[in-house]
Amino acid sequence: MTSKTEFYYMDDDVTQPFTAPHNSGKATPVEELLKLGVLYFQYPELEQVNELAKQRHYKNRDHIELSKEKIPEDVLNEKLKIFYEEHLHEDEEIRYIVDGEGYFDVRDLQDRWIRCKVVANDLLILPEGIYHRFTLTDKFYVKAIRLFQDEPKWIAINRAELDKGGEIARQQYLASVSA
């Protein structure tokens, strides 16, 4: 792989900030992500993203830029705390990294964290119902396109509050990956 994209199991070092790599040294092949329903593509051309959007019926998109230069540090830190709370969605989560880098962490079926370090030209699709979270690397910069099948929405159902919604998405997810 020529990019700086990495997939690996996370270490358990809670003394390091969540923007640290937390690399356990155990790489995770992209095939393991595929078993979890996580899709990864590397698209150097925006036209490739547009074609995928057409194929998968993504009708809307927005752009997000997270950086200390664009967002006051206290506001950025609050956003990152929200994004880093373990949660799921009732829709797929699709992110195309235009510039910069970040970490998507996803739970495997044994409840271990797999860290996906994504960089420019990476597109990641997380299935509805998968537990995940996001943070920036210690470079504190990412510019991404978020794709949506319908109107743009970002409703996170935190794992600690799953009984308030999301159970159907979670059960459907588990059924899809254990089939």
Is 132 annotated as ligand-binding?
A: yes
Whether residue 19 lies inside any domain: the answer is: yes
- Residue in this structure with the two tokens 């329903």, named with its chain if needed: 37
Rounded to whole angstroms, how far apart are CA atoms 141 and 97? 11
Cα–Cα distance, 6 to 94 (Å, whole number): 18
Task: Flag whether 59 is in a domain.
Answer: yes
Burial of 28 (0-12, 13-18, 19+ CB in 10 A): buried
Kindly give, in sequence order, each residue whose CB lies less than 8 Å from that of residue 17, ignoring residues fewer than 6 positions away.
138
Tracing tokens 């997000």 back to the chain, one arrives at 64
Number of domains in the chain: 1
For 84-134, write each residue's pLDDT tens digit.
999 999 999 999 999 999 999 999 999 999 999 999 999 999 999 999 999
| 16 within some domain | yes
Task: Flag whether 65 is in a domain.
Answer: yes
Q: What is the per-residue pLDDT for 2?
A: 44
What's residue 175's pLDDT? Answer: 94
Average pLDDT in the 62-73 region?
94
Give tens-digit pLDDT for 144-174: 999 998 876 678 899 988 877 788 899 999 9
Q: What confidence tens digit (pLDDT) does each residue in 7-57 have? A: 999 999 989 999 999 999 999 999 999 999 999 999 999 999 999 999 999
Look at residue 18 and tell me if it is in a domain: yes
Q: What is the pLDDT of residue 152?
A: 65
Q: Classify residue 1: in a domain, yes or no.
A: no
Task: Give how far Cα 179 sits from Cα of 37, 82, 113, 149, 176, Å.
Answer: 11, 32, 21, 25, 6
CA distance 60 to 92: 13
57 is in an annotated binding site: no
Site of tokens 């057409």: 54
Phi/psi for 94 (5° steps) reads -125, 125
Is 72 a domain residue? yes
pLDDT band at 1 (very low <50, low <70, confident <90, very high): very low
Q: What pTM does this model have?
A: 0.92
pLDDT averaged over the chain?
93
Find out whether 22 is annotated in a ligand binding site. no
Q: What's the chain's Rg over C-alpha atoms?
A: 16
CATH number of the CATH domain containing 146: 2.60.120.10
- Is 87 annotated as belonging to a binding site? yes
List alpha helices for the chain, DSSP H.
30-35, 46-55, 73-84, 167-178
The residue range of the domain holding 148 is 6-178
